[in-house]
Structure 1
Amino acid sequence: MGQSTKKSGPFQFFQFGLIGVGNAAVDIGTLNLLLLLFHTEDGQLLLLYNTISYCLAIANSYFWNANVTFKRTSKGSKYQRIAFIIQGLISLLISNGVFIGLNTLMEYIGVPNWIRYNIAKGFAMFLSFLASFFMVKYAVFKDFGKNNDS
């Protein structure tokens, strides 16, 4: 078994995390740009903005993780693409739930909107990042063995 045969554990999590920093920049940058251009207090629009920003980040995530972090097990198969979309949708639900829930809680206690949007987004990104890592590692780009090339 050569060094390229297996890459896992802390190093893989570190790579995923570095890519996650780029994804976070796309995610929070897009959200803040939308809020700057089309400011709103409406919960449905906030949900839409969060969804748009998250979807851009998840597309960025797929590109980089398939080509870097999970390159050895990424085959671009139909299964992997569908599994990635499913994990993305689950992570989006986590992100939206945390974002809207925490934003609502902080609004109730009087935290100014720009601060609460970004705090809620930060928590949403962190929790969806953790969920995404484990789903991507153990379901999407799972190493099914050398003999399974589909």
Structure 2
Amino acid sequence: MAQQKQKRGPLQFLQFGVIGFANAGIDIGTLNLLLIFFHTDDRMLLLLYNTIAYSLAVANSYFWNASITFKRSAKGNNRQRILFIIQGLVSLGVSNLVFLGTNELLDYTAVPNWLRYNIAKGLAMFLSFLASFFMVKYFVFKDFGNRFIKEEN
């Protein structure tokens, strides 16, 4: 049983990564569409655009990860939904902090705005992806019930 859990880890990370790649397309695509149609350099609007883009990607992530990556432990109950929302908010915080921080740092360089926003978004996506994976795996879709049953036996 322990070997099976170890084998699932890399496969889960790969599945999460493939879904994450699709989410990245949604995330960065939405941000760039918003910037094309409603260009701004205002930090609060950039924060709003990043939040909208990230939220769409997280909604997609929940659907696919609950259906594929963590289907054995995804019960679709209120507890898991609430925990997923909490991890989504934490990951959104990571994404927003990294996006704004990197954008601010790159503002002192000669990097054009569109490239600066996309570099900042790429780094934000990567770090929030890592945070999200570990929170989803060990916090949201953790099968607490089976763990307690095994300990009793």
TM-score when normalising by structure 2: 0.91
Q: Give the 5 Å matches for 1:1-150.
A: 8-146=8-146
Aligned-partner Cα distance in 2 for 1:96–1:75? 29
Structure 1 CA distance for aligned equivalents of residues 138 and 72 of structure 2: 14
Q: Distance in 1 between matches of 2:51 and 2:146?
A: 37
Distance 1:43-1:73 versus aligned 2 partners, 3 A rule: same
Runs of 4+ in 1 over 4 A off after TM superposition: none
Show CA shifts across 1:93-135 (max 9, x none): 0000000000011011221100000000000000000000000
Q: Which amino acid aligns with 1:119?
A: I
Number of residue pairs aligned between Structure 1 and Structure 2: 146
Tell me, in whole angstroms, the C-alpha distance in 2 between the residues paired with 1:147 and 1:53. Answer: 36
CA deviation digits over 1:43-78, x for unaligned, max 9? 100000000000000000000000000000000111
Question: How many angstroms apart in 2 are the aligned matches of 1:72 and 1:24?
Answer: 25
Structure 1 residue ranges without an equivalent (≥5):
none
Give 5+ residue unaligned stretches, structure 2: 149-153
Using the size of structure 1 for normalisation, the TM-score is 0.92
SS at match of 1:9: helix
Higher helix share: 2
What displacement does 1:9 show?
1.1
* Counterpart secondary structure, 2:144: coil
CA distance in 1, matches of 2:92, 2:144: 26
Tell me the distance in 2 between the aligned counterparts of 1:147 and 1:105.
45
